[in-house]
């Protein structure tokens, strides 16, 4: 079972789950921490959900660090893991992470939910705000009449202001709306807004 086989199975499952839902956007290789790390698949709708994929051919060496980074931003997280790694991986993650087991069969990859993802109790507002590009963040400040004197400030300061001034629920909603409305990723025109790389 290759990495690509797991990705194709998860992608098909998520498309089936959200088919016809115009309020959902599915993004592959979404960067966080200013692109320092990328989660395999993100689903953006009423929540920001992340799916990290580890096939039997992968190692779990990076998982603790990835889990730490992702756990500061996403509302819900699920590890999709091959049977070879499931026992070891399950003890490396916070209890609120979901775990889905990917098993290779003659017909392809089957996915079985082992643990349902709960809501993340510890999201960091600044890192959440940092998911927005500078102009997107400024537009949010403008919406809340907080942009005066801030347009020439560096992105870091603008993200800090957003995190400080907006209640978490409002910030979260604005970030999700900004990500869903984004027309370009990596400065490239996007043809299909449902699937794109960050």
pLDDT tier, 195 (very low <50, low <70, confident <90, very high otherwise): very low
Give pLDDT tens digits for 36-45. Answer: 789 999 999 9
* Residue position matching structure tokens 């500078």: 134
Residues 82 and 111: their CA atoms lie apart, in Å, by: 9
Same domain, 77 and 28: yes
Same domain, 71 and 12: yes
Does pLDDT of 192 surpass 50?
A: no
Q: Is residue 194 situated within a structural domain?
A: no
Residues 110 and 66: their CA atoms lie apart, in Å, by: 24
- Which H, E and C letters describe 4-21, residue by residue? HHHHHHHHHHHHHHHCCC
Share of the chain above pLDDT 70, in %: 92
Q: Tell me the pTM.
A: 0.89
Question: What does each C-alpha distance from 159 to 1, 32, 120 come to in angstroms?
Answer: 41, 14, 21
Alpha helices, H only, 91-154: 125-129, 134-143
Same domain, 30 and 92: yes
Choosing from 60, 80, 115, the residue where a domain stops is 115
Angle between helix axes 168-181 and 155-165 (nearest 10 degrees) is: 130
Q: What's phi and psi for 108, nearest 5 deg?
A: 130, -150
Choosing from 87, 115, 143, the residue where a domain stops is 115
- What confidence score (pLDDT) does residue 185 get? 61
CA 141 to chain centre: 23
Q: Report which of 44, 41, 42 is spatially closest to residue 23, judged by C-alpha positions.
A: 44
Q: Is residue 198 situated within a structural domain?
A: no
Domain, as residue range, for 129: 125-189
Choosing from 66, 97, 115, the residue where a domain stops is 115
Does pLDDT of 108 surpass 90?
A: no
* Residue position matching structure tokens 């088919």: 19
- The DSSP element (H or E) to which 158 belongs, if any, is helix 155-165
How many domains does one find in the chain?
2
pLDDT tier, 148 (very low <50, low <70, confident <90, very high otherwise): very high
């Amino acid at each position: 079972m290759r990495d690509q086989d797991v990705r194709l199975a998860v992608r098909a499952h998520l498309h089936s789950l959200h088919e016809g839902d115009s309020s959902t956007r599915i993004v592959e290789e979404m960067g966080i921490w200013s692109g320092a790390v990328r989660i395999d698949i993100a689903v953006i709708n009423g929540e920001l959900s992340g799916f990290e994929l580890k096939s039997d051919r992968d190692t779990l060496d990076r998982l603790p660090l990835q889990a730490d980074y992702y756990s500061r931003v996403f509302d819900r997280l699920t590890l999709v893991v091959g049977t070879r790694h499931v026992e070891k991986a399950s003890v490396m993650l916070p209890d609120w992470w979901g775990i889905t087991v990917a098993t290779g069969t003659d017909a392809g990859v089957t996915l079985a939910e082992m643990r349902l993802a709960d809501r993340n109790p510890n999201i960091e507002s600044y890192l959440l705000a940092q998911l927005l590009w500078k102009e997107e963040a400024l537009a949010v400040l403008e919406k809340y009449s907080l942009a005066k004197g801030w347009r020439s400030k560096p992105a870091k300061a603008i993200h800090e202001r957003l995190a400080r001034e907006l209640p978490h629920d409002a910030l979260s909603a604005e970030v999700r709306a900004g990500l869903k409305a984004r027309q370009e990723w990596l400065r490239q025109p996007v043809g299909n807004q449902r699937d794109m790389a960050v």
